[in-house]
Structure 1
Amino acid sequence: MTLIVHHLNNSRSQRVLFLLEELGVEYEIKRYERNPKTMLAPASLRQVHPLGKSPVITDGALTIAETGAIMEYLVATYGDGSLRPAPDSDAGRRVTYYLHYAEGSLMPLMLISLIFSRLPAQAPFPLRPVFRRIAGGVHKQFLGPQLALQLDFLERELAGRPWFAGEHFTVADAQMSFPIEIAGLRQRLLGAARPKLQNWLDRVRARPAYARALERGGPYEMG
């Protein structure tokens, strides 16, 4: 039985590779490239899952989509308990929270921000100033304050512990790595403004499994 990660460049599937490297699981990668103009996944991904989205994994006869579901499956199937504390413990409840929070609360804001940042360049040339003002207004009135609210919350969460679930690295940290990479690389929202989040990201990047995942999956290009 071969576990295959259907990997789209610059996508959520990078943290699936990260988790697999942390778990020491053997896997193969099938690569897919975004359309450089639309940034959408190729239609060939629909042959794996009807929605044609990444990440998707196939493990023998199983096909599993959605990042949180994949992460839960991997730690349940291949983990030894070290990356997934008991669900009824404080650390376990925090893991469950962050597995859902990353996609349910944080990533939608990141995606909306990305869309509006690209909107002016995609508009007809005479309308670009108008679209630029619209995008700037949305960011000032909504996206900026909401992103600050979320990231300040995460900064406080890390005030009393080094990792999101507690004293040890868990699947929650792997799940949170992608949106916080976006915040750091593209949004420039970390650094001195949020030193605990920046320190957390630096420690994630220093993990050997993270480096191996980047080597196999390719670097982020979020600029």
Structure 2
Amino acid sequence: MAGIKQQKTIPTVYNMSSSKAISALWPLEELADAGIKYKVVNLPRRGADTYKVLKSHFPLGKSPTVTLEHVGGEAEVTYQIMPNVLTETRLILQFFSDHYTDGVWVPESEEDKRRDTFFQEFAHGSLITKIDHILTFEVIPTMLFFPMRYLTLLMVLPIRMHFMKDLTVIYQIMEDPLSEEKPWFSGKNIGLADFNTIFAMDMAVQRGYIQLEKYPMLAKWYNTVQDRPAYKRAKEVGEVYDCATFA
């Protein structure tokens, strides 16, 4: 695989089960084919010490969080706001691209660069925000006792349906630019926009928020990702990845 830089830092991904950390594990597995090394610490979502471990590296206790070990024993470097710590998925992926590749995931054309930037933002803005809204209104009733649980479910149903309707517009925006010539959200080739999008799409598919048959190009993108060896390995490395129940 051409375009790989000499590795100067070894990342450790703190992966809470069934979390957005898949977006970091997948590209690292793509790079592993070219010799890039990384470590992973798997943490159960409902583990007693999970958030304690995550917060020991960054106060928000989010996953993914990435720590960096300098291969040559160099002093700590503040790449964001804390020494040797990366957080926020989009920025983590940009770091991987900048520090471990020599433009492998940079689109070739200016048009694709703009497209890639748009869909990176779209994934963490419009797409996952709407999905999180639906998820929230599904989860809240399950935390209540009978009969409030079922009464609340009935109350939030119209809100859920409203957000589901909004998602159809979002899916169409994702469907339309995909083509045989440009099958990736990054354009002609796989790129950062695709890595940023996968977690939200996994939630949508596994929780039944999308009928993929209505969006043939989006379905093809999704199935292509699922079939990639690196993506399959990423799920194996992360051990537990269930966006339907968040086990």
1:125 pairs with 122, 125, 146, which one?
Answer: 146
1:9 match: 17
CA distance in 2, matches of 1:218, 1:91: 34
Is 2:98 aligned against 1:76? Answer: yes
Structure 1 or 2: more helix by fraction: 1
C-alpha displacement at 1:219, in angstroms? 4.5
1:146 pairs with 118, 141, 166, which one?
Answer: 166
Is 2:69 aligned against 1:47? Answer: no
C-alpha displacement at 1:188, in angstroms? 4.4
Q: How does 1:108-187 map to 2 (within 5 A)?
A: 108-140=129-161, 142-159=162-179, 161-187=182-208
CA distance in 2, matches of 1:43, 1:2: 23
Instruction: Judge conservation of contact 2:107–2:187 (CA < 8 Å) in 1.
Output: no
* TM-score, scaled to structure 1: 0.91
> Helix, strand or coil for the counterpart of 1:2?
strand
Structure 1: state its 5+ residue gaps: none
Q: Quick one: which amino acid aligns to residue 21 of structure 2?
A: S
Aligned residues: 219
Q: Quick one: which amino acid aligns to residue 59 of structure 1?
A: L
Deviant stretches of 4+, over 4 Å: none
Deviations 1:36-68 (A, max 9, x none): 8xxx96232110101111111111231010000
Instruction: Judge conservation of contact 2:13–2:65 (CA < 8 Å) in 1.
Output: yes
Is 2:86 aligned against 1:64? Answer: yes
C-alpha displacement at 1:120, in angstroms? 2.0
Q: Quick one: which amino acid aligns to residue 213 of structure 1?
A: A
Instruction: Judge conservation of contact 1:183–1:189 (CA < 8 Å) in 2.
Output: yes
RMSD, aligned α-carbons: 2.0
1:125/1:41 CA distance change after superposition, 3 Å = farther
Identity of aligned residues (%): 28
CA distance in 1, matches of 2:173, 2:110: 22
Deviations 1:161-189 (A, max 9, x none): 21112121112111111111111111241
* TM-score, scaled to structure 2: 0.82
Instruction: Judge conservation of contact 2:14–2:63 (CA < 8 Å) in 1.
Output: yes
C-alpha displacement at 1:127, in angstroms? 1.1
Structure 2: state its 5+ residue gaps: 1-8, 70-75, 77-83
C-alpha displacement at 1:157, in angstroms? 2.1
